[in-house]
Amino acid sequence: MQRSDGRAAQNDVATGQGSPASPTQLFVAFTLLALQGFGGVIAVAQRVLVEHRQWLTREQFIEILSLAQVLPGPNVCNVALMTGDRFFGWRGAFAALSGMMVLPLIIVLGVAALYAQYATEPAVAGAFRGMGAVAAGLVVGTALKLASALGSNPMGVRVCWLAGATIFMAVALLRLPLVWVLLVLGSLAATFAWTRLRTRNAGDG
Amino acid sequence: MLSADWLNLLGHFLLLSLLSIGGAITVASDMHRVMVDQMSLISDAQFSAAIAIAQASPGPNVLFVAVMGYQAAGIAGAVAILIAIMLPSTTLALFAARWGHERRHWLSVRAFKAGMAPMVVGLLMATGWILATAIEGWHHLVLTALTALLVWKSRLHLLVLVVAGGVLGALGWI
């Protein structure tokens, strides 16, 4: 049986980049970077992995990130997995992902326990109303940022708006189950994008 | 300890994991539909607090799912639901990382990416909508709109915004 675990690691060592000494070092590094990431770990991950530790080149990081963004799952967790996998196969992937999750999980559950205890205090309830309002704004703001990138989408801006508005109505207003909505609309959109890309390629060549 | 409801819930989260392109927050509206609307495991206020807590804490935002599990069923609930939302996407990412490396320019991969881009935007908007309407009244919508504008147009640190929201809320202005 061939294992691909070691092969990826050798390729990267050959580039002359720095590399982690052990899965334990990966665990520690990812714990430290997760603890610095309030409200978004990607920026911190880029600084630590590329600039500080130099485990990845800028290009390698961008490649990992763009793949992480297409796949389901938290982007930053996928980045941790793929980075760990490059160096120590599945052991590295596990070490990096646990580093990212374990201590932050303990902290967040600690806060949740405190919240549960004091949720009836008017000031605490008020603070969480305020933070909840901001949280909603953060999500909408992120959506707006992503929306400005739709200009270069092969489906064209108008189709993108139509697709985005339709799924919003189906999920937010009609409260339809996401699975079916996404399967139907997602496959329609991907098929349409595919035909557009194919015509464009044919036109180019 | 595991009731049929919880098995259903965990099964649903395993499925949502595979749909969570752009992160778990993209599918939060569907978590709200199931956990708040259908099963009444947590309240609107708890749902909104879970996301606020995760955003105000260090680490990946997916931890809001653990907070919802904790609110519904303690530590065991938190761990179970976190594993459910992580396991399928993690497994897929691990295999895709090895498979997709050389195939990232394939037409089908690019078509998938292009087709999903507006879905992610629409779903994030839906999550924002659910979060904003989970809070009673309308005063807070001013803060929500202002935050959205600042996130979109400025480079202000997210934590500053969350803390500001907490302070304004504690003072009773929201």
Q: Which site among A128, A145, A180, A187 would you substitute to test the B interface, given the most B Cβ atoms closer than 10 Å to its Cβ?
A: A128
CA distance B70 to A152: 41
Among chain A residues, CA nearest to B140: A133
* Residue A49: per-residue pLDDT: 92
* Residue B3: per-residue pLDDT: 83
Among chain B residues, CA nearest to A93: B94
Q: Do B97 and A97 touch (CB under 8 A)?
A: no
Which 8-state DSSP code applies to residue B36? I
Task: Tell me the pLDDT band of A62, cut-offs 50, 70 and 90.
Answer: confident
Helices (H), A19-73: 23-36, 42-46, 58-70
Q: What is the pTM of this model?
A: 0.85
As a whole number, mean pLDDT of residues A121-144 equals 92
Q: B-chain residues within 8 Å CB-CB of A88?
A: none
Q: Do B112 and A190 touch (CB under 8 A)?
A: yes
Q: pLDDT at residue A81 above 60?
A: yes
Q: pLDDT at residue A121 above 50?
A: yes
User: Cβ atoms within 10 A of the Cβ of B159, count?
Assistant: 16
Residues in chain A, total: 205
As a whole number, mean pLDDT of residues A82-90 equals 93
CA distance A31 to A182: 34
Q: pLDDT at residue A7 above 70?
A: no
Domain boundaries in chain A? 5-116, 121-204
**Contact status, residue B118 vs residue A164, Cβ threshold 8 Å:** yes
Among chain B residues, CA nearest to A138: B148
* Residue B100: per-residue pLDDT: 63
Q: Tell me which residues of chain A, numbers 151 to 170, contact chain B at a CB-CB cutoff of 8 Å.
A: 153-155, 159-161, 163-168
**Which of B122, B159, B20, B149 is CA-nearest to residue A137?**
B149
CA distance B163 to B167: 6
Closest CA of chain B from A130, distance in Å: 4
* DSSP H or E run through B52: helix B44-56
* Residue A172: per-residue pLDDT: 94
Q: pLDDT at residue A195 above 90?
A: yes
As a whole number, mean pLDDT of residues A21-36 equals 94
* Residue B97: per-residue pLDDT: 76
Helices B63-99 and B44-56, axial angle in degrees (round to 10): 60
Q: Do B59 and A105 touch (CB under 8 A)?
A: yes
Q: Which site among B151, B155, B157 would you substitute to test the A interface, given the most A Cβ atoms closer than 10 Å to its Cβ?
A: B151
**Which of B114, B111, B145 is CA-nearest to residue B131?**
B145
Q: A-chain residues within 8 Å CB-CB of B124?
A: 139-140, 142-143, 146
**Contact status, residue B107 vs residue B35, Cβ threshold 8 Å:** no
**Which of B148, B162, B154, B9 is CA-nearest to residue B72?**
B9
CA distance A105 to A31: 11
Q: B-chain residues within 8 Å CB-CB of A152?
A: none
Q: Do A119 and B49 touch (CB under 8 A)?
A: yes
Among chain B residues, CA nearest to A35: B58
Type of residue numbered A173: L
* Residue B9: per-residue pLDDT: 96
What b/e sequence results for B116-131 when a residue is b if at least 16 CB atoms lie within 10 Å of its CB, and e otherwise?
Answer: bbbbbbbbbbbbbbbb
Q: Do B114 and A71 touch (CB under 8 A)?
A: no
Q: Do B158 and A39 touch (CB under 8 A)?
A: yes
Look up residue B120 and give its two tokens.
């992610």
**Which of B122, B116, B78, B87 is CA-nearest to residue B17?**
B87
Distances (CA, A) of B35 to A42, B22, B147, B169: 29, 21, 26, 25
Tell me the pLDDT of chain B averaged across its residues: 90
CA distance A102 to B26: 23
Q: B-chain residues within 8 Å CB-CB of A146?
A: 117, 120-121, 124
Task: Tell me the pLDDT band of A204, cut-offs 50, 70 and 90.
Answer: low
* Residue A66: per-residue pLDDT: 75
Closest CA of chain A from B64, distance in Å: 8
As a whole number, mean pLDDT of residues A112-124 equals 93
Q: Do A108 and B48 touch (CB under 8 A)?
A: no
Residues of chain B under the 70 pLDDT cut? 1-2, 100-105
Three-class SS state of B62 = coil
Task: Tell me the pLDDT band of A193, cut-offs 50, 70 and 90.
Answer: very high
Q: Which position has the higher pLDDT, A30 or B2? A: A30
